Amino acid sequence: MSRAEALINLDAIRGNVATLKRATPAEVMAVVKADGYGHGLLPVARAALAGGATWLGTAIIDEALLLRAAGIQVPILAWLWSPSESVAVAGAIRAGVDLSVSSTWALDTVLAAARDGGQRANVHLKIDTGLSRNGAYIDDWPDLVAAAAKAETGGEIAAVGVWSHFAYADDPGHPTVARQLERFREGVALAERAGLRPRLRHLANSAATLTNPDTHFDLVRPGIAVYGLSPVPTQGNFDLVPAMSLRAEAALAKRVQPGEGVSYGHVYHTAAATTLVLVPLGYADGIPRHAGNRAPVQIGGTRFRISGRVCMDQFVIDVGDQAVVAGDTVVLFGSGRDGEPTAQDWADAADTIHYEIVTRVGPRVPRRYVGTAG
């Protein structure tokens, strides 16, 4: 191991996708946005396909084009782009990347690129069913589907899908789940009345894939579950296996006296003569600064908490009288099978979600891949 590493188990990713595939008769789109949630775009994509995914999903077009450049030819959907990205839209159409469309201006941009390139574009029309984020508002939906139906009749686009996204699927009993499902069905029906016949209706994220079969339709879009993190932690792990372990090599271990202030601001003081261990990871590497004095690590099979504030490049652990020397392995989080903290433990300590813990691990931390998938 170098100074630090994120160890990525690709067989776990393949197995997680296989677990998700067994949960549904629908096709599976593995969401690999944000560099595969910090795990690595290309290795994750290949491992997910080995596990049974037939689609890949990215937020931005550039990530979809990286997949194409690497020779991955399965269907890909990219869903987040802005008016200034007309060149990227044209590149996506040339590369056979499907594009999400949430407004008539976006449809017009796709149509212009398709005409200029002499190539039909595949689009997925997104309806806002209650997240109030991306997607056409219900009042604007009739105009969008009417315009899309006209463009499809003219051979300029293929309306491959109609889709939406849940606001509260991680709380399966929340009333918004049923309300969004009903709005989605109404939106699909309206699109069909306009003359569209989308092959794919898709709504379910990780949580809905594992807890709500009524939402599966033709395609499900798991994200966090692909990486082995439970989308509904209160209901267990659903036989998912976390794929990332984050660890570092102790850079220094030294004995200090009682009453020493530790790290910036001295928000931690040693209570007795003790050993302080320096861990060469900090908020520049994605370690939450507000995890100071709270987040757990494991050294030599024993758990400790961060002592004092997290710095840009390092933090400190008070290990008492445990024998620790420079070069020993410090495990920040992993699968938990060997008693080490998990990403969920870190999320709890930092008042955030485990998505953020793994996704924010920065580029200064090398990824090392194990397993045969990907």
How open is the CA angle 187-189-191, to the nearest 5 degrees? 70
Task: Specify whether 220 is located in the same domain as 141.
Answer: yes
- Report the chain's C-alpha Rg in angstroms: 23
Residue 5 lies in a domain: no
Which 3 state secondary structure label does DSSP give 66?
helix
What distance in Å separates the CA atoms of residue 321 and residue 317, rounded to the nearest whole number? Answer: 12
Task: Specify whether 206 is located in the same domain as 251.
Answer: no
Residue 112: the pLDDT is 97
* Known catalytic membership, residue 264: yes
Residue type, 183: R
Q: Are 84 and 112 in contact (CB under 8 A)?
A: no
E strand or H helix at 17: helix 10-22
Residue type, 355: Y
Q: Are 316 and 267 in contact (CB under 8 A)?
A: no
Task: Specify whether 264 is located in the same domain as 223.
Answer: no
Active-site entry in 126, 168, 254, 264 = 264
Report, as ranges of residue numbers, the positions in the chain whose pLDDT lies below 50: none
Residue 236 lies in a domain: no
Task: Specify whether 38 is located in the same domain as 142.
Answer: yes
Provide the domain count of the chain. 2
What distance in Å separates the CA atoms of residue 14 and residue 45, rounded to the nearest whole number? Answer: 10
Q: Record the pTM.
A: 0.96
* Known catalytic membership, residue 33: yes
Residue 252 lies in a domain: yes
What distance in Å separates the CA atoms of residue 102 and residue 123, rounded to the nearest whole number? Answer: 10
Number of Cβ within 10 Å of residue 25's Cβ equals 10
CATH number at residue 256: 2.40.37.10
CATH number at residue 26: 3.20.20.10
Active-site entry in 33, 37, 227, 283 = 33
Structure tokens belonging to residue 101: 């469309």
Residue 68 lies in a domain: yes
Residue 211: the pLDDT is 97
Q: Give the distance from CA 107 to its chain's centroid.
A: 27
Residue 332 lies in a domain: yes
Task: Specify whether 84 is located in the same domain as 185.
Answer: yes
Residue 2 lies in a domain: no
Q: Are 301 and 324 in contact (CB under 8 A)?
A: no
First-to-last CA distance in the chain? 21
Residue 374: the pLDDT is 66
Residue 238 lies in a domain: no
Of 227, 257, 285, the one marking the end of a domain is 227
Task: Specify whether 293 is located in the same domain as 196.
Answer: no
What distance in Å separates the CA atoms of residue 286 and residue 305, rounded to the nearest whole number? Answer: 17
Task: Specify whether 115 is located in the same domain as 40.
Answer: yes
E strand or H helix at 330: strand 329-333
Question: Which residues are CB-contacts of 162 (< 8 A; sequence separation ≥ 6)?
Answer: 124, 125, 126, 127, 187, 188, 191, 196, 198, 200, 201, 202
Number of Cβ within 10 Å of residue 80's Cβ equals 14
Structure tokens belonging to residue 27: 């096709």
Residue 275 lies in a domain: yes
What distance in Å separates the CA atoms of residue 35 and residue 113, rounded to the nearest whole number? Answer: 27
What distance in Å separates the CA atoms of residue 105 and residue 102, rounded to the nearest whole number? Answer: 9
Q: Which domain holds residue 354?
A: 244-370
